Structure 1
Amino acid sequence: MTDPEKDGPAPPLALRIVNWIGILDQLTSTEANRLLKPLDLGLPQFVLLNHFSHRPDQARTVTDIARALQQPQPGVTKTVQKLVDKGWLGERANGRDGRSKLLVLTAAGKARHRAAIAALMPSLSRAFADWSARDQQTLFKLLDRLKVWFDRDRDPTQEPRDRQAT
């Protein structure tokens, strides 16, 4: 507990919630990187494979991906190139813009994504082992509501991302 006399009042609950989400992100990112390392897959690469897995037959440009993930294009380009080099993403000509390529998830990329999910699930299952299905569904519903709000409230100069979870 904080001592209001020494520490001042507790931060507003909204800030504490977002702070907790940030801490969870740090903890889960560290664990995911550890679990994915034997698959020669870093978390940024998994995030891209996961993004593609929602619509595996849809081709995307690096610009599309960077916009959807709200990441700088140079970093996305570097991660995409690693996935192309490993054969997990394929490239083809972009008929609408000769300066860019269209990227697609390959069969090997789908297989690596499935292997990554299998590597992550034991840890996630342990984390939720004593949660009821109802509690998990409630948490998901509330987090989805928060995600949708932040997605809709983003900077108006940014185009809206596709609404699929990443």
Structure 2
Amino acid sequence: MGAGNSQDGKPGPGEIFAYFTEIGIISQLSSALLARVLPDGVHPSHFAIVQHLIRRGDGKPPVRIAAAMQITKATMTHSLAVLEKRGFVETRPSPEDARSKLVYLTDAGRAFHAEAIEGVIRAFGRIIGDEHAEIMRQAMPGLVAIRKLLDDNRDL
């Protein structure tokens, strides 16, 4: 059926590709904007780890965080070192297994998160403005549904 809709109502291959291309471009542009509001030396991927710990709770092993974020253990080790140096997280021995560690947000990490969120809200708010707020609101349920669908099928 080509690039557009198929006859049976399912999205055509071109439509699927175009949809995820737009999401990818939005992700790149929003990450670049996020990078501009973060302190020097803190990358959006570091912020994503803090955001994950805020959303899912801290006290998780690094390997579990790496798996959730779909990054390598080495990348997680480096990122945690950056965050620890900044005082945003700390690793402690697991009470159940002294050989493994757990990652905890510090008060400074929670403050960093709150400041970063405020910066992002200001930056995106200037761009979105009142005239595009409704577009964002209408898109949100569909984006959440697609994210859940992809999350539920990440092992395919």
- The bucket for the TM-score relative to the shorter chain is 0.7 to 0.9
Whichever structure has more helix as a proportion of its residues is: 2
Question: What is the CA-CA distance between 1:9 and the residue it aligns to?
Answer: 6.0
Q: Does 1:126 align with 2:123?
A: no
Residue identity opposite 2:16 in structure 1:
A
Residue identity opposite 1:115 in structure 2:
E
CA separation of 1:91 and 1:131: change in aligned 2, threshold 3 A: same
Aligned to 1:75: 75
Separation of aligned partners in 2, 1:132 and 1:32: 19
Separation of aligned partners in 2, 1:132 and 1:60: 35
Q: Does 1:66 align with 2:66?
A: yes
CA separation of 1:29 and 1:96: change in aligned 2, threshold 3 A: same
Separation of aligned partners in 2, 1:101 and 1:147: 29
Give SS of 1:131's match: helix
Q: Which runs of 5+ in 2 are unaligned?
A: 5-12
Deviation per residue, 1:46-79 (Å, 9 max, x gap): 11111111244x3011111011111111101110
Matches within 5 A, 1:63-142: 63-129=63-129, 130-133=131-134, 135-142=135-142
Give SS of 2:38's match: helix
Separation of aligned partners in 2, 1:51 and 1:123: 21
Separation of aligned partners in 1, 2:141 and 2:69: 21
Q: How many residues align?
A: 146
Separation of aligned partners in 2, 1:37 and 1:93: 29
Separation of aligned partners in 2, 1:99 and 1:119: 38
Question: What is the CA-CA distance between 1:140 and the residue it aligns to?
Answer: 0.9
CA separation of 1:55 and 1:154: change in aligned 2, threshold 3 A: closer
> What TM-score comes out, normalization by structure 1 length?
0.79
**RMSD of Structure 2 on Structure 1 (CA):** 2.0
Aligned to 1:28: 30
- Percent identity, aligned pairs only, is 27
Separation of aligned partners in 2, 1:24 and 1:126: 16
Q: Which runs of 5+ in 1 are unaligned?
A: 1-7, 157-166
Separation of aligned partners in 2, 1:93 and 1:65: 16
Question: What is the CA-CA distance between 1:126 and the residue it aligns to?
Answer: 2.2
CA separation of 1:43 and 1:27: change in aligned 2, threshold 3 A: same
